[in-house]
Amino acid sequence: MHDKRKLLTHRAINIALLCALSGSIVPLLLPSTAAREDAKQQTTSAATASPEPARDERLWQRALKLHRRSIVVDTHNDITTMMTDDDYDIGTSSVGKYHTDLARMKAGGLSAEFFSVYVDKKYAKEGGSARRAMDMIDQVYRAVERHPDEFMMAVSVADIRRAKRQGKIAALMGIEGGHAIENSLSALRDFYRLGIRYMTLTHNNTNDWADSSRDEARHNGLTDFGKEVVREMNRLGMLVDVSHVSDKTMSDVLDVSRAPIIASHSSARALSNHPRNIPDDLLRRIAQNKGVVMVNFYPVFIDQKAYDADRARDERLKPQLDRLREEYKNDPKRLGEEITKLYAANPLPPTPLSILIDHIDHIAKTAGVDHVGIGSDFDGVPSLPVGMEDISKLPNITYELLKRGYSETDVRKILGENLLRAFAEAERVARSSSRSVSGEGSLRRLNEGGR
């Protein structure tokens, strides 16, 4: 898996066409350097999906009205990588290619987007993590400059509410991968000053101060420096994001953080046993912390059937994959294309939207309805549930929640108010911090061998 993931993060993927898709699923070009979650191509055929049940038109109209009135926040979108690597202008249509563009964000009734400043683990090895993050931050600012009537840069809860009043989409930023700060609290502060409002402490790689859920546990959770990073984020008012970290890291964060934390794009492990998902005991602790878990849409995470099928397929195709890797080891572009073809010929079963709603429902029942939201992972994953193929489909979540009997107040919480509440509390904790000068008590930089 790891080799494949590495190979497929190559830019070559950029031009790899996900084919053999049909029905309501649009073939997509895979993101460049992409597929943050599981950097491999994958197809999900809708051909065998059972027909969608007829929509209750009155309920749909009610859902649309509620959705438009609500503040709708998506806390994780990886379109930033395409904006950076391909100079993709989000104002132009990318239908059939990416999950996100401005017109579809509007169609989806989105109020605020957290653009993911995703720093691949290769930068942790080769150097340049902070520079990569800064390049991506620049792209978000440039997108807002290009489209000032549609977007507004936002760094606070007040900004998000103002953008909504002005009919604009609030553009926020979160770092994905704590190695982006290059072990420097000064860099962390600088990122805050540039507008970064959350940071996942790790990506799929364990870094020098925090263990990841998808890598070797080297620190038994957070190191002392890692705890200092969390405290400094609290002091600044940057949300601590536990998506991607190991269970022990998450538990350590919950011990240390004085402010509510978030999981910007994570789902429930009780429903699908994937290490990226959060177990019930930690969901309850996040509730005690007044934090929020923003549900990830990726079928391989949320659908046990898709996860099992994905693993079985990897096992089954291993000889062919190994052969391709050997044959095209000097031609990563061709290799990406060949692997795409192989997966397209071996699609995973489709995942219905109801499974995504089940995760929201489970977290609402386990942690409480005040502690769940949406963190799509659009353009960071190669496939999506039927009925949630791109960002324009967000109102379907509102409809499905109403259908399950959620009150309008609770739906609004899930769509965005929960995130705003946690964010506002993190802002309050920062304001009330006794350390008001940057670096007071903390000028530390993690050196070689230090903890």
Contacting residues for 330 by C-beta, under 8 A, at least 6 apart? none
Distance of CA 148 to the CA centre of its chain: 25
| Closer to Zn ion by Cβ: residue 292 or 321 | 292
Give the interface segment with Zn ion, choosing from 31-39, 96-104, 234-242, 402-410 (CB under 5 A): 31-39
Q: How far is the CB of 172 from Zn ion (least distance, A)?
A: 16
| Closer to Zn ion by Cβ: residue 176 or 390 | 176
Tokens of residue 103, six digits: 């017109």
Q: What does the per-residue mask of binding to Zn ion show for 238-277, with x meaning CB under 5 A? A: ----------------------------------------
Give the interface segment with Zn ion, choosing from 36-44, 213-221, 356-364, 419-427 (CB under 5 A): 36-44
Q: How far is the CB of 36 from Zn ion (least distance, A)?
A: 5
Distance of CA 204 to the CA centre of its chain: 12
| Closer to Zn ion by Cβ: residue 36 or 197 | 36
Q: How far is the CB of 436 from Zn ion (least distance, A)?
A: 33
| Closer to Zn ion by Cβ: residue 36 or 104 | 36
- From the list 67, 99, 179, 265, the catalytic residue is 265
Q: What residues form DSSP beta bridges with 386?
A: 352
Q: How far is the CB of 176 from Zn ion (least distance, A)?
A: 6
- From the list 113, 358, 377, 425, the catalytic residue is 377
| Closer to Zn ion by Cβ: residue 212 or 418 | 212
Asked if residues 66 and 408 have their Cβ atoms less than 8 Å apart, the reply is yes
Q: Determine whether 359 is an active site residue.
A: no
Q: How far is the CB of 76 from Zn ion (least distance, A)?
A: 7
Asked if residues 143 and 77 have their Cβ atoms less than 8 Å apart, the reply is no
**At 10, which amino acid appears?**
H
Tokens of residue 70, six digits: 């609500």
Asked if residues 399 and 409 have their Cβ atoms less than 8 Å apart, the reply is no
CA distance 303 to 358: 10
Q: Determine whether 252 is an active site residue.
A: no
| Closer to Zn ion by Cβ: residue 36 or 164 | 36
Q: How far is the CB of 77 from Zn ion (least distance, A)?
A: 11
Dihedral sign, CA of 365, 366, 368, 374?
Answer: negative
| Closer to Zn ion by Cβ: residue 67 or 244 | 244
Contacting residues for 333 by C-beta, under 8 A, at least 6 apart? 10, 12, 15
Q: Determine whether 219 is an active site residue.
A: no
Q: How far is the CB of 441 from Zn ion (least distance, A)?
A: 32
Dihedral sign, CA of 43, 47, 53, 56?
Answer: positive
Measured from each CB, the residue nearest to Zn ion is 36
Give the interface segment with Zn ion, choosing from 1-9, 33-41, 381-389, 410-418 (CB under 5 A): 33-41
Q: Determine whether 427 is an active site residue.
A: no
Class of residue 349 by CB neighbours under 10 A (exposed 0-12, middle 13-18, buried 19+): middle
Q: Determine whether 362 is an active site residue.
A: no
| Closer to Zn ion by Cβ: residue 139 or 213 | 213
Give the interface segment with Zn ion, choosing from 12-20, 34-42, 121-129, 389-397 (CB under 5 A): 34-42
Q: How far is the CB of 164 from Zn ion (least distance, A)?
A: 26
- From the list 176, 182, 310, 337, the catalytic residue is 176
| Closer to Zn ion by Cβ: residue 78 or 159 | 78
Q: Scan for tokens 């101060």, then name that residue.
A: 209
- From the list 67, 76, 99, 179, the catalytic residue is 76
Q: Determine whether 176 is an active site residue.
A: yes
By CB under 5 A, what part of segment 350-379 binds Zn ion? none
Give the interface segment with Zn ion, choosing from 29-37, 226-234, 353-361, 362-370 (CB under 5 A): 29-37
Give the interface segment with Zn ion, choosing from 28-36, 317-325, 355-363, 439-447 (CB under 5 A): 28-36
Q: What residues form DSSP beta bridges with 278?
A: 268
Q: Determine whether 99 is an active site residue.
A: no
Q: How far is the CB of 244 from Zn ion (least distance, A)?
A: 6
**How many amino acids of this chain bind Zn ion (CB under 5 A)?**
1
Closest by Cα among 427, 375, 430 to 154:
427
Q: Which residues are catalytic?
A: 76, 78, 176, 203, 244, 265, 377
Residues that bind Zn ion (CB under 5 A): 36
